[in-house]
């Protein structure tokens, strides 16, 4: 009603103004996510300027970028693409551009529009939409992936010369609560919720860890680990919660302790990581975070087959990364709260 009055340049009655203002401050919504093969990534339907694309929600980066009609036609094949010219709400930010590199060596670049973006029922009326003009070959073959929606902190958004905000930062002040949650499942659809915590999606209690935002990431300190039924080892390790990374990357000594309990496990330099016999009965991995035990079932650590008998491990070393990465192998055992309040924190509960 508020928009209707505005459309006809008529001042809305006070109660309509107040109701609209209150509604704007209590958005909340749920969007489904669907895993790609081996739970390598999880894709969510998002409407951009009225056009629906399947995006990889990534708490490890802060750019919302999409395949677009600005790309070579051959590279668009098999994808849903954003066409700014067919959106009635797109506004070109012609002075802005972006380029991003991910930890797996893939990347993309392009130009920027402002447009309406809807996730579940949560609406950003003017969100920076980074339209790709070029994407790396690694992306091209992931034909279900039409781009990424970054959910890290806007301080690491790559748009220049005018840095832009993430979808979450754009809508945060209008959400009922300044948070979103990730409910990733093994081999089945899950959800991301914005603005509320759905208590039916976890068991027990949520334990929280303080987040250090200085690197623009959901960065926290894990305080220990255990392998299977083994004793807990108290050792702090700097970590991030990253829905855009497939595996669980840990300090080398923890990785060695884990695979030391697996007959036939080996570091296979030709595969670039640890492998296990596919018929292994793998031990659980327990991370101590926020003073509580968070368990990844051993079966989740048999990530994907390499051959008849050899399988790639879901736990790998964090060498060269600079911190540990709690990626999907870990996150899909948990219900995760990304709390963007004035003292940001991450919460973990058993699904």
Q: Which of 41, 166, 316, 324 binds ligand F63 (CB under 6 A)?
A: 41
Residues whose CB falls within 8 Å of the CB of residue 285, separated by 6 or more in sequence, listed in order: 225, 226, 227, 248, 258, 295, 296, 298, 301, 315, 330
| 99 counts as binding ligand F63 under rule CB under 6 A | no
Measured in whole angstroms, how far is the alpha carbon of residue 271 from the centre of its chain?
A: 26
Contact by Cβ (8 Å): 273, 312: yes
| 130 counts as binding ligand F63 under rule CB under 6 A | no
Q: Which of 83, 106, 213, 221 binds ligand F63 (CB under 6 A)?
A: 106
Residues whose CB falls within 8 Å of the CB of residue 52, separated by 6 or more in sequence, listed in order: 45, 46, 80
From 148, 208, 204, 146, select the one nearest 181 (Cα to Cα): 208
Assigned token pair, 262: 């697996």
| 18 counts as binding ligand F63 under rule CB under 6 A | no
Q: How far is the CB of 107 from ligand F63 (least distance, A)?
A: 8
Annotated catalytic residue, options 39, 56, 193, 242: 242
**Separation between Cα atoms, residue 40 and residue 331, nearest integer Å:** 12
| 253 counts as binding ligand F63 under rule CB under 6 A | no
Q: Which of 110, 120, 190, 244 binds ligand F63 (CB under 6 A)?
A: 244
Q: Known catalytic residue: 95?
A: no
| 326 counts as binding ligand F63 under rule CB under 6 A | no
**Separation between Cα atoms, residue 203 and residue 163, nearest integer Å:** 39
Provide the 3-class DSSP secondary structure of residue 217. Answer: coil
| 39 counts as binding ligand F63 under rule CB under 6 A | no
Q: Which of 6, 25, 138, 188 binds ligand F63 (CB under 6 A)?
A: 138
| 304 counts as binding ligand F63 under rule CB under 6 A | no
Q: How far is the CB of 3 from ligand F63 (least distance, A)?
A: 36
| 58 counts as binding ligand F63 under rule CB under 6 A | yes
Q: Known catalytic residue: 58?
A: yes
Contact by Cβ (8 Å): 280, 97: no
| 109 counts as binding ligand F63 under rule CB under 6 A | no
Annotated catalytic residue, options 58, 63, 193, 339: 58
From 348, 318, 182, select the one nearest 238 (Cα to Cα): 318
Chain positions contacting ligand F63, by CB under 6 A:
41, 56, 58, 60-61, 102-104, 106, 138-139, 142, 145, 148, 244-245
Positions annotated as catalytic residues are 58, 242
């Amino acid at each position: 009603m508020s928009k209707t009055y505005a459309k006809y340049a008529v001042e809305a009655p006070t109660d309509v103004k107040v109701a609209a203002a209150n509604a704007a401050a209590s958005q909340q919504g749920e969007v489904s996510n669907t895993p790609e093969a081996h739970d390598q990534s999880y894709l969510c339907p998002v409407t951009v300027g009225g056009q629906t694309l399947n995006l990889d929600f990534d708490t490890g980066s802060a750019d919302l970028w999409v395949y677009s009609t600005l790309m070579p036609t051959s590279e668009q094949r098999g994808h849903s693409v954003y066409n700014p010219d067919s959106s009635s709400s797109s506004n070109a930010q012609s002075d802005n551009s972006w380029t991003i590199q991910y930890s797996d060596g893939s990347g993309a670049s392009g130009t920027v529009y402002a447009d309406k973006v809807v996730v579940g029922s949560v609406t950003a009326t003017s969100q920076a939409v980074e339209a790709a003009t070029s994407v790396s070959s690694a992306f091209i073959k992931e034909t279900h992936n039409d781009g990424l929606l970054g959910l890290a902190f806007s301080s690491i958004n790559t748009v220049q010369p005018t840095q832009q905000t993430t979808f979450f930062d754009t809508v945060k002040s209008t959400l009922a609560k300044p948070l979103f949650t990730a409910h990733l499942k093994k081999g089945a659809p899950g959800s991301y919720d914005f603005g509320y915590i759905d208590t039916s999606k976890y068991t027990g209690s949520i334990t929280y860890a303080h987040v250090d935002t200085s690197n623009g990431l959901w960065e926290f300190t894990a305080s220990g680990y255990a392998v299977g039924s083994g004793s807990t080892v108290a050792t702090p390790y700097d970590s991030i919660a990253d829905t855009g990374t497939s595996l669980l990357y840990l300090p080398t000594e923890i990785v060695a302790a884990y695979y030391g309990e697996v007959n036939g496990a080996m570091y296979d330099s030709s595969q670039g990581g640890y492998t296990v016999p596919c018929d292994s009965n793998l031990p659980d991995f327990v991370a101590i975070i926020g003073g509580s035990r968070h368990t990844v079932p051993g079966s989740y650590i048999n990530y994907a087959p390499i051959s008849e008998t050899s399988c790639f491990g879901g736990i790998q070393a964090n060498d060269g990364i600079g911190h540990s990465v709690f990626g999907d192998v870990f996150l899909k055992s948990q219900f995760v709260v990304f709390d963007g309040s004035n003292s940001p924190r991450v919460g973990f509960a058993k699904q």
